[in-house]
């Protein structure tokens, strides 16, 4: 797996932004095959920062039923990585104001 | 916050000022964040409760280009107000508009109409010949008027000659079509007319030339497209002219004048008509003089004004005309235009020449008044209102208004200045001697004779002294 295939997208939610603001931790969806070392290398290469810690969480698949037709909507399992950066460093997830 | 970057460019052709205003990036960003925050309360973004998503997420989500458009529209008014403050207020007139918006960097192009530029030229060299009333024209008008009076009183007089067009013919007539009698009369009166024939042009032509007592039988073929009940048929006529009368003008006598006019004698009527004719020709000559004068003034002048200035004048004229239409019972100009099948744009186009001419005349008179340094006194303003021919109460209330309303004062002052400028132009054009600029007299209220106030104490003493003298005189007489 190439280094650039590891990071799939930043997870942008209220909670993830709060983590970034308060604890300098950034949340990404990563490839399900990726390990902590690969995530560390990928983030450092992609954003030019120093990663001090990586935590990986395997998210379970979720099924939601729509009430009217009772059709099942399945969200597949995915892997989440919470990356802690060295103090004073940050990632600009979106350009702009 | 950073200052706006403003550049000015004068558009010579249209007498407008182009204001290019570039808004600094930090101000645009601040506005973007403000707008994003506002929209964030309405837009649902996954992972965030409403109103909790940060501005940059919302901007990325909704698209920067879209938000910039919104911001540009929202900011336009404030940017204009800020930019216009950098321009000298005396140089511009209302009617500015936004011509173009550039989004990156955010730049506005405002077009601001400039105050009209007027150079009246060498108006002091204008000469217009005033043509004296030609006595021959007066006499011609008098003759016409007298002829009208006679025309109104003309009478039919029997004549012993062949019928001519315009005569009143009395005749017997029998008209037969397909064996059926259509007209049969013994005393039929008609006037042969070559412009507006009675039955057909051929019929009138057949009667013309017949002598009183003459009989005639003839046929006429009515054409297919005749429009009469006899179209396409042949009619037989048997006619006999019984009498012919021609129009005769009566003699101009005192009786005729007295019956038809407010005057008793021919001479009195003639005098009145002559006086009226002379006045009419006099005012015609004055109108011609004024219009030639204004034409020459415009020829020698240079006037530049913005399209917005003309548009305002058209609007003004439109309102004035609407008041007139309303006085005639129309609800609005639109109602009249609907009847005429005209659009408001066509109507405004029609008003343009009048508005243009009025605007240019006013601008020129204002420029001349300024150059001549005319002054207007309070007395002149009051006098102007007194001469307006209003009811005394109305005049008094306007004079009161003049004293307390600065705007109304300025308006009346401007009207008087224009009047003075035009009167000066008239005098110049007639070749009269006029004062130099800045030397024009100003009318002041006539001085009221001062009433000597006599102090009561002194008065008493004087009276006493007089009384004493009188008593002395009386005692002497007694002696």
CA–CA gap between residue B126 and residue B296 (Å, rounded): 7
Domain with CATH 3.10.50.40 in chain B: 155-248
The reply to whether the predicted model has a pTM over 0.90 is no
On average, the pLDDT of chain B sits at 88
Q: Give the distance from residue B21's alpha carbon to the nearest chain A alpha carbon, in angstroms.
A: 22
Range B456-469 average pLDDT: 48
Q: Give the distance from residue A12's alpha carbon to the nearest chain B alpha carbon, in angstroms.
A: 7
Peptide bond preceding B105 in cis form (omega within 30 of 0): yes
Provide the token pair at B217. Answer: 């039988």
Q: What is the pLDDT of residue B415?
A: 94
Long-range CB pairs of B220-226, under 8 A, 24+ apart, other chains included: B226/B200
CATH architecture of B5-115: 2-Layer Sandwich (3.30)
Range B400-428 average pLDDT: 93
Q: What is the tens place of the pLDDT at every residue in B333-375?
A: 999 899 889 999 999 999 999 999 999 999 999 999 999 999 9
Q: Do A96 and B60 touch (CB under 8 A)?
A: yes
The conformation of residue B354, written as its DSSP 8-state character, comes to H
CA–CA gap between residue B36 and residue B32 (Å, rounded): 6
Q: Do B59 and A97 touch (CB under 8 A)?
A: yes
Q: What is the tens place of the pLDDT at every residue in B33-68?
A: 899 888 888 888 888 888 888 888 888 888 888 899
User: Which residues, 6 or more positions from A23, have their beta carbon under 8 angstroms from its beta carbon?
Assistant: A84
Q: Do B46 and A13 touch (CB under 8 A)?
A: yes
Q: What is the pLDDT of residue B462?
A: 47
Burial classification of residue B259, based on how many CB atoms lie within 10 Å of its CB (0-12 exposed, 13-18 middle, 19 or more buried): exposed
Question: What is the fold of B155-248?
Answer: Chitinase A; domain 3 (3.10.50)
Within 8 A of A22 by CB-CB distance, chain B residues are: none
Q: What is the pLDDT of residue B350?
A: 93
Provide the token pair at B190. Answer: 């008609």
Interface of A with B (CB under 8 A): 11-17, 94, 96-97
Range B276-295 average pLDDT: 92
Q: Which of B168, B262, B181 is nearest to B212 (CA)?
A: B168
Q: What is the pLDDT of residue B478?
A: 45
Q: Residue A81: in which H helix or E strand, if any? A: strand A78-85
Q: What is the tens place of the pLDDT at every residue in B297-331?
A: 999 999 999 999 999 999 999 999 999 999 888 88
CA–CA gap between residue A83 and residue A19 (Å, rounded): 10
Confirm if B117 and B304 have CB atoms less than 8 A apart.
Answer: yes
Segment 9-48 of chain B within 8 Å of chain A by CB: 29, 32-33, 46-48
- Helices B25-40 and B64-84: angle between axes, nearest 10 degrees: 120
Within 8 A of A14 by CB-CB distance, chain B residues are: 47-49, 52-53
Q: Is the pLDDT of residue B269 over 80?
A: yes
Radius of gyration over every alpha carbon of chain A, rounded to an integer in angstroms: 15
Domain with CATH 3.30.70.1050 in chain B: 5-115
Q: Is the pLDDT of residue A95 over 80?
A: no
Q: What is the pLDDT of residue B474?
A: 46
Of B29, B48, B55, the CB nearest to A14: B48
Q: What is the tens place of the pLDDT at every residue in B102-151?
A: 988 899 999 999 999 999 999 999 999 888 888 899 999 999 999 999 98
């Amino acid at each position: 797996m190439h280094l650039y295939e590891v990071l799939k997208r930043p997870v942008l939610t209220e909670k993830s932004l709060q983590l970034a603001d308060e604890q300098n931790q950034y949340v990404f969806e990563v490839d399900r095959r990726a390990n902590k070392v690969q995530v560390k290398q990928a983030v450092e290469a992609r954003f030019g920062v120093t990663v001090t810690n990586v935590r990986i969480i395997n998210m379970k698949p979720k099924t939601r039923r729509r009430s009217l037709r009772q059709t099942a909507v399945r969200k597949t399992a995915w892997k989440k990585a919470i990356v802690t950066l060295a103090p004073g460093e940050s990632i600009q997830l979106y350009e702009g104001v | 916050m950073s200052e706006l970057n403003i550049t000015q460019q004068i558009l010579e052709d249209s007498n407008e000022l182009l204001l290019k205003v570039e808004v600094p990036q930090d101000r645009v960003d601040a506005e973007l964040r403000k707008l994003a925050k506002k929209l964030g309360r309405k837009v649902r973004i996954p992972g965030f409760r409403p109103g909790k998503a940060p501005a940059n997420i919302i901007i990325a989500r909704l698209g920067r280009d879209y938000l910039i458009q919104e911001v540009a529209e929202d900011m336009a008014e404030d940017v204009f107000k800020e930019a216009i403050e950098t321009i000298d207020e005396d140089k511009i007139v209302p009617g500015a508009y936004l011509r173009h918006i550039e989004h990156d960097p955010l730049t506005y192009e405002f077009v601001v109409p400039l105050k009209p530029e007027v150079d009246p030229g060498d108006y002091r060299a204008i000469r217009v010949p005033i043509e004296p009333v030609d006595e021959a024209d007066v006499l011609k008008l008098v003759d016409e008027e007298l002829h009208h009076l006679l025309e109104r009183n003309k009478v039919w007089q029997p004549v012993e000659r062949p019928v001519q067009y315009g005569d009143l013919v009395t005749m017997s007539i029998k008209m037969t079509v397909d064996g059926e009698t259509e007209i049969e009369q013994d005393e039929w009166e008609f006037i042969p007319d070559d412009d507006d024939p009675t039955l057909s042009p051929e019929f009138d032509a057949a009667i013309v030339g017949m002598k009183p007592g003459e009989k005639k039988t003839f046929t006429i073929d009515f054409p297919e497209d005749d429009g009469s009940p006899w179209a396409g048929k042949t009619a037989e006529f048997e006619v006999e002219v019984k009498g012919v009368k021609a129009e005769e003008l009566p003699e101009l006598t005192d009786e005729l004048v007295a019956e038809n006019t407010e005057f008793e004698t021919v001479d009195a009527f003639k005098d009145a008509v002559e006086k009226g004719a002379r006045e009419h020709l006099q005012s015609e000559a004055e109108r011609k003089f004024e219009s030639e004068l204004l034409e020459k003034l415009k020829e020698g002048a240079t006037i530049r004004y913005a399209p917005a200035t003309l548009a305002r004048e058209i609007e003004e004229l439109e309102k004035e005309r609407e008041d007139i239409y309303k006085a005639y019972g129309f609800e609005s100009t639109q109602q009249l235009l609907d009847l005429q099948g005209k659009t408001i744009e066509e109507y405004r186009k029609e008003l343009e020449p009048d508005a243009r001419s009025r605007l240019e005349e006013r601008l020129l008179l204002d420029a001349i008044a300024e150059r001549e340094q005319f002054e207007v006194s309070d007395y002149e303003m009051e006098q102007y209102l007194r001469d307006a021919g209003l009811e005394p109460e109305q005049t008094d209330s306007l004079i009161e208004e003049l004293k307390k309303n600065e705007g109304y004062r300025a308006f009346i002052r401007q009207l008087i200045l224009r009047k003075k400028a035009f009167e000066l132009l008239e005098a110049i054009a007639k070749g009269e001697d006029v004062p130099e600029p800045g030397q024009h007299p100003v009318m002041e209220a006539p001085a009221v004779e001062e009433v000597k106030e006599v102090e009561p104490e002194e008065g008493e003493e004087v009276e006493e002294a007089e009384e004493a003298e009188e008593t002395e005189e009386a005692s002497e007489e007694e002696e």
